[in-house]
C-alpha cells in the first residue's frame, strides 16, 4: 500500500512554511510515499505565480514524491488563462482557498476558471479549503459542485470545525464531492467517512500546521483495516488518474 498525503503546504525562502525538502525528510521518516504540496496562504492570496512555480519545480525534482496543487486567485482578470497554463505545466490539482482569496464558492467567482478549463478538456480535481466561516462552508461547495458535475471536487478539511456535520449532508447530495481529512480530527473524520463512504475519503495531514507523523499515526490507528488502502492513498491516486 502506497501512502499518499492528501494535503501539505510548503513555503518559499523567507516564509514560515518549511521547504519541500524539509517535508520530504518528514515523509521519509513517516513512510509516506507521496504528498500533495500546495503553496502558502500568501501565495494563495496574491503571489500565485511564485507559489505555483515553487510546487511545480519541487515536483519536477521529485516527480515520484510530490503532487503539485496549483492555485489562482479568482479575482484576477487573467485567472482562467493562468490556471490552464499551470495545469499544462504539471499542476495535478487546482486548489482554492476561499477564506484567503476572498470569495464564496457558492457564487460564480470561480466559475469562469472552471468553464475555461473544461473548454480546454482539462479536468483536474478541484480542491476547496472549507471551514472558514462565510467563505468556504460545505453548503457553498455543494452549489458549485452541482454546477460542475463533471468535475471532482475535494472538500478540504471536511468543513472542520463547525461545519463538520454539514459535510456529510453535502456529500449525500453531490456524488462528485470527496472529503479530505486535515484538521478534521481523525476520530471525527473516520466517523463521517463511514457515513459518506470510505471510497470518497482522503487522508491529508495538514503539514506543517499539523504534525505529519502524529496525524498519520492517529489515522492509521482509527481507520478500519479494510479501508486503509483506499483512504490512505488509493482514492486520491484514482482521482488523479481521472477516475471517480
Partner 1 sequence: MIVDAHLHWPMAKPEGPERLLAVLDRYGIDAAIVCGVEVLFASKSAPVRQWNDRLMEFCGRCPSRLAPLVTVHLSDGQAALEEAKRCAEAGCIGGFKLHPWLQGESLCLPATAELCELAAARNLPIMLHDGTPPYALSSQVGLLAAEHPATTFILGHSGLLHYWREAIEVGRRFTNVYLTLCGGHPWGLGRICESVPAERILWGSDCLGPGGEEHIHYRMGLLRLLKVDETTLAAIMGDNACRVWKIPPQGAGR
Interface with partner 1, residue 134, by CB under 8 A: yes
Q: Which of 175, 187, 195, 244 binds partner 1 (CB under 8 A)?
A: 187
- Residues 118 and 177: their CA atoms lie apart, in Å, by 17
Q: 182 and 7 in contact (C-beta within 8 Å)?
A: yes
CB of 127 to partner 1, least distance (A): 17
Interface with partner 1, residue 210, by CB under 8 A: yes
Interface with partner 1, residue 19, by CB under 8 A: no
Interface with partner 1, residue 162, by CB under 8 A: yes
Interface with partner 1, residue 12, by CB under 8 A: no
- Residues 120 and 108: their CA atoms lie apart, in Å, by 19
Interface with partner 1, residue 204, by CB under 8 A: no
- Residues 104 and 98: their CA atoms lie apart, in Å, by 6
For the chain, the first-to-last Cα distance in angstroms comes to 19
* Count of residues interacting with partner 1 (CB under 8 A): 21
**Which part of the chain contacts partner 1 (CB under 8 A), choosing from 26-34, 74-82, 167-175, 184-192?**
184-192
SS3 125: coil
Interface with partner 1, residue 105, by CB under 8 A: no
Query: For residue 96, how many C-alpha atoms fall within 13 Å in the half-sphere facing its CB?
Result: 33
C-beta of 73 vs 186, nearer to partner 1: 186
CB of 188 to partner 1, least distance (A): 8
Interface with partner 1, residue 65, by CB under 8 A: no
Q: How many helices (H) and strands (E) does the chain have?
A: 12, 8
Q: CB burial class (10 A; 0-12, 13-18, 19+) of residue 111? A: middle
CB of 56 to partner 1, least distance (A): 25
Q: Which residues pair with 36 in a beta bridge?
A: 67
C-beta of 129 vs 200, nearer to partner 1: 129
Q: Which cell goes with 69? A: 496543487
Q: Which of 62, 106, 208, 240 binds partner 1 (CB under 8 A)?
A: 208
Q: 229 and 114 in contact (C-beta within 8 Å)?
A: no
Which residues would be at the binding site for partner 1 (CB under 8 A)? Answer: 99, 131-134, 157, 160-162, 183, 185-187, 206, 208-211, 214, 218, 222
Amino acid at each position: 500500500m502506497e501512502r499518499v498525503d492528501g494535503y501539505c503546504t510548503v513555503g518559499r525562502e523567507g516564509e514560515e512554511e518549511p521547504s519541500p525538502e524539509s517535508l520530504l525528510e518528514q515523509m521519509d521518516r513517516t513512510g509516506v510515499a507521496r504528498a500533495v504540496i500546495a503553496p502558502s496562504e500568501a501565495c494563495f492570496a496574491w503571489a500565485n505565480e511564485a507559489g505555483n512555480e515553487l510546487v511545480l519545480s519541487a515536483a519536477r525534482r521529485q516527480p515520484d514524491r510530490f503532487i503539485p496543487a496549483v492555485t489562482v486567485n479568482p479575482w484576477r482578470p487573467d485567472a482562467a488563462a493562468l490556471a490552464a497554463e499551470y495545469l499544462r505545466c504539471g499542476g495535478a490539482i487546482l486548489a482554492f482557498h476561499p477564506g484567503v482569496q476572498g470569495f464564496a464558492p457558492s457564487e460564480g467567482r470561480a466559475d469562469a476558471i472552471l468553464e475555461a478549463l473544461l473548454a480546454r478538456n482539462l479536468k483536474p480535481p478541484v480542491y476547496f479549503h472549507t471551514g472558514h466561516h462565510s467563505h468556504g462552508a460545505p453548503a457553498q461547495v455543494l452549489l458549485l459542485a452541482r454546477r460542475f458535475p463533471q468535475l471532482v471536487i475535494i472538500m478540504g478539511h471536511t468543513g472542520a470545525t463547525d461545519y463538520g456535520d454539514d459535510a456529510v449532508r453535502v456529500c449525500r447530495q453531490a456524488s462528485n464531492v470527496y472529503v479530505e481529512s486535515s484538521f478534521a480530527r481523525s476520530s471525527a473524520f473516520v466517523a463521517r467517512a463511514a457515513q459518506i463512504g470510505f471510497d470518497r475519503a482522503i487522508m491529508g495531514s495538514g503539514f506543517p500546521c499539523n504534525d505529519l507523523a502524529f496525524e498519520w499515526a492517529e489515522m492509521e490507528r482509527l481507520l478500519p483495516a479494510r479501508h486503509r488502502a483506499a483512504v490512505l492513498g488509493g482514492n486520491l491516486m484514482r482521482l488523479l488518474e481521472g477516475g471517480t
